[in-house]
């Protein structure tokens, strides 16, 4: 009885979703491995291309085995990874369909044990693959990264130490896509501890500027093409439509067809005139009755007009309250930004004064420059951003006010005004994008010059 009581009181084993997923994954790997793999060229070193012309199921087997490997890495299951690689089924460097290598997947998962497992199984610690964490140059294809680059980019200093100090990863490798190196990726993402750990390295400055410049050139080209199309529409298509297409299809063609029809039916013209003369007295009589009816209904029309005016007047307080709310939130936002500008300026002056009084013993020139940069950012970024948020808020409030006062008509008028405003502002906005692109390219070049002098610049 005592044993039964203790057994009844024993805690029930807890099964998690991870346990279930790992069991299912292990079963999948076992089933796939037990299939006839002699048709496959083992070990599998690349993801298979999608080919409907192939009559066997080798594409299915290959893709599912690779997906099982990456799922095991994501779920931190080294047993399945070890089984797939040691049995000679998969290469430790086999990429998935997106070009991501197993080591990159392990770094993305933040699993140092999995990184060591893959390296011990023969994975190349310096192999480039497609990084799925960052989209590189904002293009369709992610940027190429080594495991050390990805760890530095994400600021995972434990993995950086493991890869660089223990596993011998090369921190001097340069990404072929955008010229990035591990040190610059850590610095540009603000990971100071990683920057302090890695040695100062030069390299890739020209490639980084060139990659950035190519993006800016594409943006400038798109803006230029947009302006050219806009000018072509305004200067050619729109005048041609108004001067040629509209008169042709509204006046000329209908008149031509009318003359042709009249000539074909010229024999019926006399009878038509006779019928019109006979119908004239009856039409005059109906018109007179309509005038009398309109005069009798005038008071009702005036009453309806007055009711409509009263409904409009009742909606005015709601519209005014919306405008007041927008003014209050905008002024509060701008006031807060202005206060931050004042505080940042005072902080920058205080830092500079303390640096002079302490003879730079406690405060460095870098601290002074950082304070100035923060103050300038508050003036030229924070305050304009607050003003722009207020302007965007006015657009939403104006739409709500127009709809509250005029309903559907107000919505149509608001969109009409917005379209006209877009037409007026399109060319200036695209020109501004061109100016910003040129400025960004120049700024990137200046930044890379500073990086050449100080490889840890910007950290």
Contacts of residue 76, Cβ cutoff 8 Å, sequence gap at least 6: 109, 111, 113, 114
Q: What pTM did the predictor assign?
A: 0.60
Percent of the chain residues topping a pLDDT of 70: 69
The stretch 323-346 carries a mean pLDDT of 67
> What number is the average pLDDT over the span 310-328?
71
Q: What sign results for the dihedral spanned by CA atoms 385, 391, 397, 403?
A: negative
Of the listed ranges 4-13, 364-373, 375-384, 447-456, the one predicted with least confidence: 4-13
Q: Which position has the higher pLDDT, 395 or 129? A: 129
Q: DSSP E strands: which ranges in 128-283?
A: 129-130, 144-145
Q: Quote the pLDDT of residue 34.
A: 54
Rounded Cα gap, residues 375 and 373, in angstroms: 5
Count of C-beta atoms within a 10 Å radius of residue 206: 12
Give the CA-trace dihedral at 190, 193, 197, 202, to 10 degrees.
20
Structure-block tokens of residue 39: 């048709």
Across 199-203, 213-217, 232-236, 293-297, least confident range: 293-297
Which of 384, 371, 381 is closest to 344 using CA atoms? 371
- Which residues face 130 on adjacent strands? 144
> How is residue 406 written in tokens?
């005029």
Tokens of 391: 């302007």
For the chain, percent of residues with pLDDT exceeding 90? 20
The set of long-range contacts for 33-39, using a CB threshold of 8 Å and a minimum separation of 24, is 33/83, 33/84, 33/87, 33/89, 35/61, 37/61, 37/89
142 with 99: CB under 8 angstroms? yes
Q: Among 145, 60, 129, 131, which residue's Cα sits nearest to residue 94?
A: 129
H or E element: which one contains 96?
none
Distance CA(45)–CA(94), nearest Å, equals: 5
Dihedral, 61, 66, 72, 75 alpha carbons, nearest 10: -110
CA distance 69 to 83: 10
| Lookup: tokens for 276 | 């019109």
Per domain, the residue ranges of the chain are 20-205
Mean pLDDT of 228-240: 89
Query: Which two three-digit tokens encode residue 337?
Result: 């930004």
Mean pLDDT of 303-308: 72
Give the length of the chain.
459
**Structure confidence at residue 158 as a pLDDT band (50, 70, 90):** very high
Distance CA 459, CA 438 (A): 25
Tokens 């040691």, residue located: 86
Query: Nearest-CA neighbor of 455 among 137, 174, 173, 187?
Result: 187
What is the CATH T-level fold of the domain 20-205, as seen in this structure? 1.25.40
Q: Give per-residue burial for 283-301: e unless 16+ CB within 10 Å, then b.
A: eeeeeeeeeeeeeeeeeee
Evaluate whether 35 touches 43 at the Cβ level (below 8 Å): no
- pLDDT band at residue 20 using 50, 70 and 90 as cut-offs: very low
Please compute, for residue 283, the number of CA atoms within 13 A of its CA located in the half-sphere on the CB side.
6
Mean pLDDT of the chain: 77
**What span, in angstroms and rounded, lies between the C-alpha atoms of 169 and 167?**
6
Which residues neighbour 211 within 8 Å (Cβ) at sequence distance 6 or greater?
A: 137, 177, 178, 179
């Amino acid at each position: 009885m005592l044993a039964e009581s203790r057994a009844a009181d024993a805690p029930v084993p807890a099964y998690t979703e991870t346990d279930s997923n790992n069991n299912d994954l292990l079963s999948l790997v076992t089933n796939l491995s037990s299939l006839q793999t002699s048709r496959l060229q083992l070990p599998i070193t690349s993801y298979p291309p999608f080919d409907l012309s192939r009559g066997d199921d080798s594409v299915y087997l290959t893709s599912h085995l690779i997906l099982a490997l990456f799922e095991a890495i994501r779920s931190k299951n080294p047993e399945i990874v070890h089984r797939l690689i040691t049995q000679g089924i998969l290469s430790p460097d086999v990429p998935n369909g997106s070009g991501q290598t197993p080591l990159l997947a392990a770094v993305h998962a933040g699993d140092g044990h999995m990184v060591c497992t893959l390296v011990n199984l023969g994975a190349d610690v310096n192999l480039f693959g497609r990084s799925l964490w960052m989209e590189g140059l904002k293009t369709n294809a992610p940027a190429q990264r080594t495991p050390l680059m990805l760890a530095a980019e994400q600021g995972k200093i434990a993995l950086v130490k493991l890869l660089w100090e223990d596993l011998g990863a090369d921190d001097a490798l340069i990404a072929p896509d955008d010229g990035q190196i591990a040190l610059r990726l850590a610095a540009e993402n603000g990971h100071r501890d990683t920057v302090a750990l890695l040695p100062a390295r030069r390299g890739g400055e020209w490639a980084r500027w060139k990659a950035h410049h190519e993006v800016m050139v594409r943006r400038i080209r798109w803006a230029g093409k947009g302006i050219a199309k806009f000018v072509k529409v305004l200067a050619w298509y729109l005048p041609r439509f108004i001067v040629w297409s509209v008169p042709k299809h509204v006046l000329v063609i209908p008149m031509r067809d009318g003359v042709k029809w009249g000539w074909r039916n010229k024999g019926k013209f006399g009878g038509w005139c006779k019928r019109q003369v006979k119908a004239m007295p009856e039409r005059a009589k109906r018109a007179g009755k309509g005038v009398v009816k309109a005069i009798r209904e005038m008071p009702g029309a005036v009453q309806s007009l007055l009711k409509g005016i009263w409904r409009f007047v009742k909606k005015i307080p709601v519209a005014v309250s919306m405008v007041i709310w927008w003014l209050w939130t905008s002024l509060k936002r701008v006031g807060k930004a202005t206060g931050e500008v004042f505080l940042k300026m005072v902080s920058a002056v205080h830092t500079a004064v303390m640096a002079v009084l302490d003879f730079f013993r406690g405060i460095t020139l870098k601290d002074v420059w950082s304070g100035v940069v923060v103050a300038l950012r508050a003036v030229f970024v924070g305050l304009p951003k607050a003003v722009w948020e207020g302007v965007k808020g006015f657009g939403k409030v104006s739409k709500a006010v127009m709809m509250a006062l005029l309903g559907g008509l107000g919505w149509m008028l608001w969109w009409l005004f917005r379209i006209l405003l877009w037409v007026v502002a399109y060319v200036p906005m695209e020109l501004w994008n061109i100016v910003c692109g040129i400025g960004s390219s120049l700024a990137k070049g200046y930044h890379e010059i500073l990086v050449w002098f100080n490889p840890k610049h910007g950290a």
